[in-house]
Amino acid sequence: MITAGVDIGAGTTKAVLMDDAGRILVKVSERSGARLDAAGSRALAAVLEKAGLRREDIAYVAATGYGRYQLPERDIQITEVTCHARGASYLFPGTRCLLDIGAQSTRAIRVDDAGRVMRFRMNDRCAAGAGRFLERVARALEVPLDDLGPMSLHSADPQAISSICAVLAESEVISLVTSGKATEDILMGAHLSIADRALALLRQVGVDGEVTVTGGVVLNRGMLTALERRLGRTVNASPDTVYAGAIGAALLGFVRLRKLGEAR
């Protein structure tokens, strides 16, 4: 039996297929674009094609993320907090805290040993501390997004960014450039600024046990370094933690199926 998890985020949409042995069969990640309904269906079609399967072969489709209500093929929608918690615990069973830093929101979640949510805090009102903040800084510095992290690692003298607002930070970055500061130092400053915002949320739920980072920023080594530096300890992250929401949704799909079976 196979389930699908589709995580329709503000920036990217992720989809995975899992079998009942808990193995990830295929995974896909693509830009969401303006039409979130189309993004979810597109990602689902992409994983099916990759696996050589059809919609009928999938026992359950669970949607999560910002656009979870906009996937016509879904059997259920589950909040991203629940899905990320489950997905992070699947990938790193020792997880007790997780930070999900997405394009438009940041969440700090405390989980129990089964990956169930105990407490969470989030900021989805403003771009401060989320991926979009980095995108704006990258734009101001004319640095490709993928180079942000690697470049920031060369910083010797990180420049503090005092603006919390992503838009005002852009102007601040421009004035730092004008005053002759090195690009890598400004970049590390921006990463540290996001780390500070994210960790303030994490402290509100309490830092305990292993900390796992999920969301698009885990692909950015500079961001992970900034988080580890500010936290004073290592964090769990892997390229797969980008898919934590989708993985959690697929896993919860099995839980749901089992419950349906018992009810019958």
Q: Which of 31, 35, 139, 233 binds other proteins (CB under 8 A)?
A: 35
Closer by beta carbon to other proteins, 153 or else 165: 165
Residue 135 has which token pair?
């995108």
Number of chain residues interacting with other proteins (CB under 8 A): 22
H/E segment holding residue 263:
helix 244-263
Residues forming beta bridges with residue 212, ordered by sequence position: 98, 236
Under 8 Å between Cβ of 73 and 61: yes
- Any contact of residue 165 with other proteins (CB under 8 A)? yes
CA 100 remoteness from chain centre: 5
Stretches 81-89, 146-154, 175-183, 195-203: which one binds other proteins (CB under 8 A)? 175-183
Stretches 73-81, 159-167, 217-225, 249-257: which one binds other proteins (CB under 8 A)? 159-167
- Any contact of residue 167 with other proteins (CB under 8 A)? yes
CA–CA gap between residue 31 and residue 43 (Å, rounded): 10
Nearest CA-CA partner of 238 in 207, 214, 210: 214
Contacts of 174 (CB under 8 A, 6+ apart): 140
**Residues in 111-140 at the binding interface with other proteins, rule: CB under 8 A:** 125-128, 132-133, 136
Stretches 43-51, 80-88, 174-182, 211-219: which one binds other proteins (CB under 8 A)? 174-182
Please give the residue ranges that form the binding site for other proteins (CB under 8 A).
10, 34-36, 104, 125-128, 132-133, 136, 164-168, 171, 174-175, 177-178
